């Protein structure tokens, strides 16, 4: 039984009847395109009692753009609902069945669906945070930096009020490709069958899919919080690369390096009260929500 299902079970089992009936509402497998496709669907977690005008988190899972799923959310839905958010977890199609550009547009379509429909689930379409881990970090960072994707789906850039990429290594894809290539040559390792160059395409495509190349003043880019592993060379370098680009453009950006953690552990523990990255995350969202009325 997953952590969120365990939470629901405990709530129903120990609370008085009237209170137990007021548990979070979960709506699963909602298609964001037609015809319905499991890889192009999302799950919606609405707070107990639902209500209206809750800020919204759109969460994008990781998995190297080739695996993973919207069910891999651990404690995040419960933590965000407790803070009064509607939490939306998104599926998207995978390489090699589709191109990287098509994956980006899948996530943009999901954000478009959320903007058009989330009010029926208690959410505020004008207060959307984009968040994601690993491959999902690259996707949300790109959508936040290059608003053309979400604007094509009917989402005003002003509706995305914050972005939290978690331990991504491809905010500057050509830099990561060059880093990985140099490392393999130094270690005399063979090239991968499906590395970043194979996934992202030629240099022009790599640049186009890099969030850093779309950062500029007066583009409506929202504030960022970049979470990364403090001792991971690649994700730390990429987080600082994007932070520097945002800072130079005058866009509010914070960076937090998680100590004594690992790539999957950082994702898995996000939402736990004692987790330092979680505390940084909710301090960030509280500040943004205090500024956006």
Task: Give me 184's structure tokens.
Answer: 């393999």
Q: b vs e for 24-53, b when ≥16 Cβ sit within 10 Å of the residue's Cβ?
A: bbeeeebebeeeeeeebbbbbbbbeeeeee
Average pLDDT over residues 128-135: 98
| pLDDT recorded at residue 4 | 45
Task: Please tell me the least confidently modeled range out of 22-31, 38-47, 106-115, 140-149.
Answer: 22-31
Please give the Cα distance from 108 to 250 (Å, whole number). Answer: 25
Question: For 200-221, how does the pLDDT look when each residue is reduced to its tens digit (9 = 90+)?
Answer: 999 999 999 999 999 999 999 9
Domains delineated in the chain: 25-291 (3.40.50.1820)
| pLDDT over 70 percentage in the chain | 92
Task: Please tell me the least confidently modeled range out of 188-202, 211-225, 238-252.
Answer: 188-202
Question: For 37-48, how does the pLDDT look when each residue is reduced to its tens digit (9 = 90+)?
Answer: 999 999 999 998
Please give the Cα distance from 262 to 224 (Å, whole number). Answer: 22
Are the C-beta atoms of residues 246 and 221 closer than 8 Å to each other? yes
Question: For 84-94, how does the pLDDT look when each residue is reduced to its tens digit (9 = 90+)?
Answer: 999 999 999 99
pLDDT over 60 at 15, yes or no: no
Question: What secondary structure letter does DSSP report for 156?
Answer: -
- Given pLDDT bands bounded at 50, 70 and 90, which one contains residue 293? low
Mean pLDDT of the chain: 92
- Looking up tokens 């120990």, which residue turns up? 14
């Amino acid at each position: 039984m997953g952590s969120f299902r365990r939470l629901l079970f405990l709530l129903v089992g120990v609370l008085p009847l009237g209170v137990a009936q007021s548990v979070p509402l979960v709506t699963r497998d909602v298609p964001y395109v037609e015809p319905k496709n499991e890889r192009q669907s999302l799950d919606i977690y609405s707070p107990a009692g639902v209500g209206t005008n809750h800020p919204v988190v759109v969460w994008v899972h990781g998995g190297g753009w080739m695996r993973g799923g919207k069910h891999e959310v651990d404690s995040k839905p419960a933590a965000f609902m407790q803070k009064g958010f509607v939490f939306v977890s998104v599926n998207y199609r995978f390489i090699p069945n589709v191109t990287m550009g098509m994956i980006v547009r899948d996530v943009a379509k999901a954000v478009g669906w959320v903007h058009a429909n989330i009010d029926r689930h208690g959410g505020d379409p004008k207060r959307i945070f984009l968040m994601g881990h690993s491959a999902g970090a690259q996707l949300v960072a790109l959508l936040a930096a290059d608003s053309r994707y979400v604007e094509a789906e009917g989402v005003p850039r002003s509706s995305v009020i914050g972005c939290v990429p978690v331990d991504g290594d491809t905010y500057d894809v050509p830099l990561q490709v060059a880093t990985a290539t140099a490392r393999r040559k130094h270690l005399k390792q063979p090239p991968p069958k499906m590395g970043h160059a194979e996934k992202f395409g030629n240099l022009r495509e790599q640049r186009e899919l890099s969030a850093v190349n779309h950062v500029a003043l007066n583009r409506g880019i929202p504030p960022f919080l970049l979470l990364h592993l403090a001792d991971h060379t690649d994700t730390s370098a990429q987080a600082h690369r994007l932070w520097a680009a945002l800072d130079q453009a005058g866009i509010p950006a914070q960076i937090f390096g998680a100590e004594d953690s690992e790539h999957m552990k950082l994702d898995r523990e996000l939402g736990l009260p004692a987790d330092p990255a979680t505390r940084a995350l909710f301090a960030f969202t509280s500040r943004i929500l205090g500024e956006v009325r």
